[in-house]
Amino acid sequence: MNQNGISSLWELSSSGRRGVVIPRSDVPAAELDDKYIRKDAADLPEVSELDLIRHYTRLSTLNYSIDTRFYPLGSCTMKYNPRVNEQTARMAGFAASHPYLPESMAQGNLELMHELQKDLAELAGFKAVSLQPAAGAHGELAGVLMIKKYHESRGDTGRTRFLIPDSAHGTNPASVAMAGFEAVEVSSDDRGNIDLARLKELCDESIAGIMITNPNTLGLFEEQIIDVISTVHACGGLVYGDGANFNAIMGVVKPGDLGFDVMHYNLHKTFSTPHGGGGPGAGPVAAADSLKDYLPGPLVGRSDNGSFTFVQPAKSIGRLKAFNGNFGVLVRAYTYILSLGGNGLKAASESAVLAANYLLSRVKDVLPSWYDRICMHEFVSSGQSLGEGVHTMDLAKRLIDYGFHPPTVYFPLIVPEALMVEPTETESIEILDAFAETLRVIVKESQDQPELLHDAPHRETVSRLDEVMAVKKPVLRDIGRI
């Protein structure tokens, strides 16, 4: 038994106990080479079906999820995922249709994809959408490859550099590097915007484009976005929008109208698919006139006779994903869009922004935001105001003791001791108040009893892990044996 009273299946094991009865073989035994025949019994636990069910059900309750508690993980948009999405994604016509079905037998599925392409294009003000990419980062790669092919097809081959603001998500420089560009950092100004003067210095004919997140990862709307975009266009570059923060502006601002050439959406964030466990997701990519012929294909088009069919854009960068992307995520997103409607989506964004500002106003005297501005759907504070020797990481771990998932920490990189809070639109005011109150209590603890924070969390199955190795070399043994 470990310190939380969880026994391993081996500890529960009792010789001869069985959870299954394996049916008697009704085919003749095959001859097997002696070297394949086991000499010693395998070390397997012998437990009843009930033992097994209780064991795994109990382990499953150790997972933290949005269905159990508040999950203010900045930039990740951990909002509640309505169950109606799950109902539609499980409908047999969607869930059980084989990807090799001929188009004529999959018209309903193709229609859903076609409608989703149209809705996403409309919401963000673009001409066409490809549903191929499987995640946000995959959409980024798609968009950057489109920009690359655009320049190449015009014989403009000297553009080897791609601009990335210093507040950007780590996937942004990684994506441009994967596409063969050199990432060039653009600094932020003292209001948390892209520094326009610096941008003007950097823009020349070596620049292929810029990747911009708006609102940016500081939770701030780029106040000079029109000037930023026209500056890059003026030197011949194109503008990529990282649309992971679309939850802040749905129905309010259309990035296509602002002049973005291409953008991805994180359907699993903004359009409510459960995420956080590593997938599946979807990162459709949308393009303006400038780039619509380069989209990854196939897209779903409509023929003159009204039937739906796959079409490849004229200068497509090609296919990025087997079959048609993660179709179940597309069904969830389409369900979400239809069930909220245009006004509902707008209200969701407005509530997300309101919730973040409410929370910020309740804590900013003890955890001031790094830039003193009205925020969008998230805000970034700094743990520099915590007690002597106490870091943001300690505050994050202490929150676990109070039953809250920590916010994102140490990102964006330009804010020291960063704490990035995204409450989303789906939480009640009571939850926001409880979270604010807890943050205030912890800030006070950091001054009065710093040791409480240093060792936190105190009551979990595991305490502080090596966060790098926990991902790269997970210990996948039965939990009671750890």
| Residues of this chain that bind ligand PLP (CB under 6 A) | 75, 135-137, 169, 171, 213, 217, 242, 244-245, 266, 281, 283
186: part of which helix (H) or strand (E)?
Answer: strand 182-186
Q: How far is the CB of 404 from ligand PLP (least distance, A)?
A: 20
Task: Decide whether 266 or 290 has the Cβ nearer to ligand PLP.
Answer: 266
Q: How far is the CB of 269 from ligand PLP (least distance, A)?
A: 6
Q: How far is the CB of 142 from ligand PLP (least distance, A)?
A: 12
Q: How far is the CB of 2 from ligand PLP (least distance, A)?
A: 32
**Spatial contact of 207 and 163, defined as CB atoms under 8 Å apart:** yes
Distance (Å, whole) CA 459 – CA 367? 25
Task: Decide whether 88 or 217 has the Cβ nearer to ligand PLP.
Answer: 217
Token pair listed for 274 = 């459960």
Task: Decide whether 47 or 76 has the Cβ nearer to ligand PLP.
Answer: 76
For 451, list phi and psi in degrees, rounded to 5: -65, -25
**Spatial contact of 218 and 167, defined as CB atoms under 8 Å apart:** yes
State the amino acid at position 473 in one-letter form: K
Token pair listed for 341 = 């409607």
Q: Phi-psi bin for 471: left (phi > 0), alpha (psi -120 to 50), beta?
A: alpha
> Minimal CB distance to ligand PLP: which residue?
136
Distance (Å, whole) CA 267 – CA 264? 9
Burial group, residue 235, by CB count within 10 angstroms (0-12, 13-18, 19+): middle
Q: How far is the CB of 283 from ligand PLP (least distance, A)?
A: 6
> What residues contact 109, with CB distance under 8 A and at least 6 apart?
93, 94, 97, 327
436: part of which helix (H) or strand (E)?
Answer: helix 429-448
Task: Decide whether 396 or 479 has the Cβ nearer to ligand PLP.
Answer: 396
Distance (Å, whole) CA 11 – CA 1? 8
Closest by alpha carbon to 291, among 59, 126, 90? Answer: 126
Task: Decide whether 172 or 446 has the Cβ nearer to ligand PLP.
Answer: 172
Task: Decide whether 109 or 408 has the Cβ nearer to ligand PLP.
Answer: 408
Q: How far is the CB of 136 from ligand PLP (least distance, A)?
A: 2
Task: Decide whether 135 or 432 has the Cβ nearer to ligand PLP.
Answer: 135
Q: How far is the CB of 405 from ligand PLP (least distance, A)?
A: 16
Separation of first and last alpha carbons in the chain: 10
Q: Could you count the other beta carbons within 10 Å of the beta carbon of residue 137?
A: 22
Q: How far is the CB of 151 from ligand PLP (least distance, A)?
A: 23
Task: Decide whether 246 or 308 has the Cβ nearer to ligand PLP.
Answer: 246
For 115, list phi and psi in degrees, rounded to 5: -65, -40
Distance (Å, whole) CA 93 – CA 331? 11
Do you know the residue count of the chain?
482
Q: How far is the CB of 332 from ligand PLP (least distance, A)?
A: 14
- Helix ranges (H only) for 21-95 are 49-60, 83-89, 92-95
Task: Decide whether 270 or 357 has the Cβ nearer to ligand PLP.
Answer: 270
Q: How far is the CB of 191 from ligand PLP (least distance, A)?
A: 19
Task: Decide whether 215 or 236 has the Cβ nearer to ligand PLP.
Answer: 215
Distance (Å, whole) CA 103 – CA 329? 20
